[in-house]
Amino acid sequence: MSRDTSIENIFLVADDAIQGLWGLHTFTNAAVNTADRARIMSRLPTGAFQLTHEWARLYNPEELTRQMDLVFEFVHCRNSLVLLVSLFEGAILRFNEQLRSLPHVQKHTTYKPLLKWIFGLVRDTQSGSPAMRKRLPETCGEIDNARRLRNCFAHNNGRYNRFYLDDAIQDKWVSVRPHGSNLIADVDKREKILVINDHLEGFIRSHIEVLHVVHNTIQRKFFGESQDYSYAAEGKQIEWHRILSGETFLRM
């Protein structure tokens, strides 16, 4: 048997999209951190900006620039994290849709059950390096943590709440822990979530690594493919012209 091309295309699109997110996030960081503030303000609307098709809103460009410097990293990382989770969720959903006709594959349409499904798939996988397989409880825990953080951003004004803890996937194999230095002992205080660049880098690495393991596991389990897909083994550079142009999407 050989690798299923439909499953591979789902993987490639998601993999490229997440790498593109990393490129955009890193490039924007570099641009903002090195840009001359006076030149930035010269390109901003003066005095007011068009809020709707009908209304304009008064604002101060200097205040916007000053406040953005204070919060840029947190806002930028929050937005990138929300997109990261959405990209991964879409890929896992498409994997499930593609496999539903096969025996023993249950239909799932929402993200938490989809994660439970893929965690079950990779628990005893033979795909990935020994270090990747050993890391899976932690990397899967990172993915579930990103899901719960995204939900806090979307539904709880970017603050921790009790549901953040209670909604964790209950699986003793998965390492459930808040990320890095954002360990919140008392979520009832509704502390504000402050994701920084180092945290986002970790989340991106976990999502890409697990995406590769999931793809290779599906190819082995359902299609009898014995060789893992690995661009790392090829040692080639990222093809930014292809990733950022969306060329991969044309193959779907």
pLDDT at 161: 87
Segments forming the whole domain that contains residue 179: 5-47+73-229
Under the banding of pLDDT at 50, 70 and 90, the label for residue 181 is very low
Amino acid code (one letter) for 188? D
Asked whether residue 180 is domain-assigned, the answer is: yes
Per residue, the 3-state secondary structure of the chain, as one string, reads CCCCHHHHHHHHHHHHHHHHHHHHHHHHHHHHHHCCHHHHHHCCCCCEEECCCCCEEECCHHHHHHHHHHHHHHHHHHHHHHHHHHHHHHHHHHHHHHHCCCCCCCCCCCHHHHHHHHHHHHCCCCCCCHHHHHHHHHHHHHHHHHHHHHHHHHHCCCECCHHHHHCCCCCCCCCCCCCCCCCCCCHHHCCECCCCHHHHHHHHHHHHHHHHHHHHHHHHHHHCCCCCCCCCCCCCCCCHHHHHHCHHHHHC
Query: Is 152 among the domain residues?
Result: yes
**For range 178-186, the mean pLDDT:** 49
54 assigned to some structural domain: no
| The pLDDT of residue 182 | 46
pLDDT tens sequence across 71-126: 999 999 999 999 999 999 999 999 999 999 998 899 999 999 999 999 999 999 99
pLDDT in tens, 5-38: 999 999 999 999 999 999 999 999 999 999 999 9
Reading the block at residue 149, the tokens are 């953080």
Burial (Cβ within 10 Å: 0-12, 13-18, ≥19) of residue 9: middle
Note the pTM of the prediction, 2 decimals: 0.93
Q: Is residue 244 part of a domain?
A: no
User: Is 20 inside any structural domain?
Assistant: yes
Handedness of CA 191, 195, 199, 200 (dihedral sign): positive
* 220 located within any domain: yes
Domain count along the chain: 1
Task: Judge whether 60 lies within some domain.
Answer: no
Find, among 205, 7, 185, 227, the residue nearest to 96 by Cα: 7
pLDDT band at 204 (very low <50, low <70, confident <90, very high): very high
